[in-house]
């Protein structure tokens, strides 16, 4: 390995990953596990069939507090943050005035006047600058990214596993009572925590926020408690294949400051009835209609990757944003921007892989969908119960 490991940050679970035999790689300035000895495909399958546990402590956590925090969060984030009840979370976008995407985030209303915004690790400093620029002076901002560890337990067995080491603060409630996109204060493996029924895998699951210095306890307790249920540690490799099968956007791939929510298929996250940063530009983009759109592709005879050209009748017409082998559906899949005229399901296209045009067909997304009963995902049809 020739990476400059010295310059990379480590999560509080670094030693746990090394002890488990993880392959550590640089990611967004962090030294993170990309996979454990069983490999990406096995970890992916474990999450679909049993459960997997991810260290997401590299992600950013930003708190907004105070009587004006709700209004500020509602103006910063594209979705209906004003409509959140205490104990609810919502997926949304940070946009700039041009109506393009600064980051995708989840906003949690933890208690009255306390909003937690979880942002991508690669965007923490950009997001903080963006938030500061637009934040009224009477709202208290705290960057808790280096104080907050995040452990995700995802998969159909996640509720059973988490319940065995968790006590909710609300007496007699269990984590089974937590609605999709619900969040509650709890103790997990002895540590003070917030448990949210959110995730990025397309399965039922939870994200557990714990203090940085207490992260090892819950991680170890969960791993031990889940062993009998098939819980496996899972790395960033499986996280990517899982999110791609579920057609979730990845910042830097499907979305960035050159893409707008409409073409990215994230128009549903934009509550155009309210005023938020980028609202007018996004409303105009919606009115105009997009010129390109993200589609799902199944590729026959090669693996499409980020940056590959999409070809129609020998001409480059678009670009692959993400591509991989989808372990659950056992097909090579990709997301790509293509002209709207070529975005219909069933359209025959090609992806240029190493100078060869490999057949690709536009398919319906998500590529994979968990049974409705066991699903937590940022989607328009989600339900949020208090």
- Smallest gap, in angstroms, from Cβ of residue 357 to other proteins? 14
Closer residue to other proteins (CB): 120 or 241:
241
Work out the burial of residue 139: count CB atoms within 10 Å of its CB; fewer than 13 is exposed, 13-18 middle, 19 or more buried.
buried
DSSP classification of residue 372: G
Binding-site member from 12, 99, 233, 327 for other proteins (CB under 8 A): 327
- Smallest gap, in angstroms, from Cβ of residue 319 to other proteins? 17
Residues 41-60 that bind other proteins (CB under 8 A): 41-42
Residues 176 and 374: beta-carbon distance below 8 Å: no
Reported in sequence order, the residue ranges of 100-215 that DSSP labels E, i.e. its strands, are 101-111, 114-119, 140-143, 148-154, 166-168, 183-188, 191-196, 205-211
48-84 in b/e form (b: 16+ CB < 10 A) is bebbbbbbbbbbbbbbbbbebbbbbbbbbbbbbbeeb
- Smallest gap, in angstroms, from Cβ of residue 379 to other proteins? 25
Instruction: For strands 292-299 and 309-312, give the pairing.
Output: unpaired
Closer residue to other proteins (CB): 165 or 350:
350
Residues 308 and 335: beta-carbon distance below 8 Å: no
Binding-site member from 237, 265, 296, 378 for other proteins (CB under 8 A): 237
Residues 329-368 that bind other proteins (CB under 8 A): 332, 354
Count of positions on this chain that bind other proteins (CB under 8 A): 17
DSSP classification of residue 208: E
Binding-site member from 52, 302, 366, 378 for other proteins (CB under 8 A): 302
Work out whether 34 is an interface residue with other proteins (CB under 8 A): yes
- Smallest gap, in angstroms, from Cβ of residue 354 to other proteins? 7
- Smallest gap, in angstroms, from Cβ of residue 322 to other proteins? 12
Closer residue to other proteins (CB): 249 or 332:
332
Give whole-number Cα distances, 115 to 110, 262, 324, in Å. Answer: 6, 26, 35
CA 262/CA 182 separation, integer angstroms = 27
Q: Using CB under 8 A, which of the segments 34-42, 111-119, 210-218, 265-273 binds other proteins? A: 34-42
- Smallest gap, in angstroms, from Cβ of residue 150 to other proteins? 23
- Smallest gap, in angstroms, from Cβ of residue 325 to other proteins? 4
CA 365 to chain centre: 17
Single out the residue of 378, 380, 341, 376 nearest to residue 362, CA to CA.
341
Q: Using CB under 8 A, which of the segments 195-203, 213-221, 320-328, 333-341 binds other proteins? A: 320-328
210-225 in b/e form (b: 16+ CB < 10 A) is beeebbbebbebbbeb
Work out whether 232 is an interface residue with other proteins (CB under 8 A): no
Work out whether 214 is an interface residue with other proteins (CB under 8 A): no
Binding-site member from 9, 26, 29, 39 for other proteins (CB under 8 A): 39
Binding-site member from 13, 24, 40, 93 for other proteins (CB under 8 A): 40
Binding-site member from 11, 35, 166, 232 for other proteins (CB under 8 A): 35
- Smallest gap, in angstroms, from Cβ of residue 39 to other proteins? 5
Closer residue to other proteins (CB): 10 or 23:
23
CB atoms under 10 Å from CB of 113, counted, come to 16
Joined together, the tokens standing for residue 309 give 């050209």
- Smallest gap, in angstroms, from Cβ of residue 261 to other proteins? 29
Query: Which residues are at the interface with other proteins (CB under 8 A)?
Result: 23, 34-35, 39-42, 237, 241, 302-303, 305, 324-325, 327, 332, 354
């Amino acid at each position: 390995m020739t990476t400059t490991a010295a310059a990379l940050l480590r999560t509080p679970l670094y030693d746990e990953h090394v002890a488990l035999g993880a392959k550590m790689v640089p990611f967004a300035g962090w030294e993170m596990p990309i996979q454990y000895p069983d490999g990406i495909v096995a970890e992916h399958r474990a999450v679909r069939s049993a459960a997997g546990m991810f260290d997401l402590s590299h992600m950013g956590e930003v708190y907004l507090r105070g009587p004006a925090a709700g209004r500020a969060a509602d103006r910063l984030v594209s979705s209906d943050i004003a409509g959140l009840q205490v104990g609810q979370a919502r997926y949304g976008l940070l946009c700039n005035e041009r109506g393009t995407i600064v980051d995708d985030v989840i906003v949690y209303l933890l208690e009255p006047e306390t909003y937690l915004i979880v942002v991508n690790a690669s965007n923490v400093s950009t997001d903080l600058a963006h938030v500061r620029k637009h934040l009224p002076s009477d709202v208290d901002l705290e960057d808790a990214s280096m104080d907050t560890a995040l452990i995700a337990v995802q998969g159909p067995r996640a509720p059973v596993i988490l319940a065995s080491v968790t006590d909710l603060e609300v007496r007699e409630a269990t984590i089974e009572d937590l609605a999709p996109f619900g969040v509650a204060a709890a103790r997990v493996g002895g540590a003070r925590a917030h448990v949210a029924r959110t995730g990025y895998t397309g399965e039922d699951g939870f994200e557990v926020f714990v203090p940085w210095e207490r992260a090892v306890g819950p991680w170890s307790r969960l791993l031990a408690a889940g062993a009998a249920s098939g819980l496996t540690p899972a790395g960033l490799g499986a996280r990517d294949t899982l999110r791609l099968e579920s057609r979730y956007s990845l910042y830097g791939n499907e979305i960035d400051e050159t893409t707008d929510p409409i073409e990215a298929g994230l128009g549903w996250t934009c509550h155009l009835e309210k005023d938020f940063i980028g609202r007018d530009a996004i409303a105009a983009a919606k009115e105009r209609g997009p010129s390109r759109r993200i589609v799902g592709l199944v590729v026959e005879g090669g693996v499409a990757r980020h940056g590959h050209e999409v070809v129609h009748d020998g001409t480059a017409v678009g670009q692959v944003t993400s591509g991989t082998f989808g372990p659950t559906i056992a097909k090579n899949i990709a997301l790509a921007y293509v002209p709207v005229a070529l975005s219909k399901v069933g359209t025959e296209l090609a992806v240029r892989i190493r100078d060869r045009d490999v057949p690709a067909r536009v398919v319906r997304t998500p590529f994979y969908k968990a049974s409705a009963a066991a699903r937590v995902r940022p989607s328009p049809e989600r339900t949020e119960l208090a």
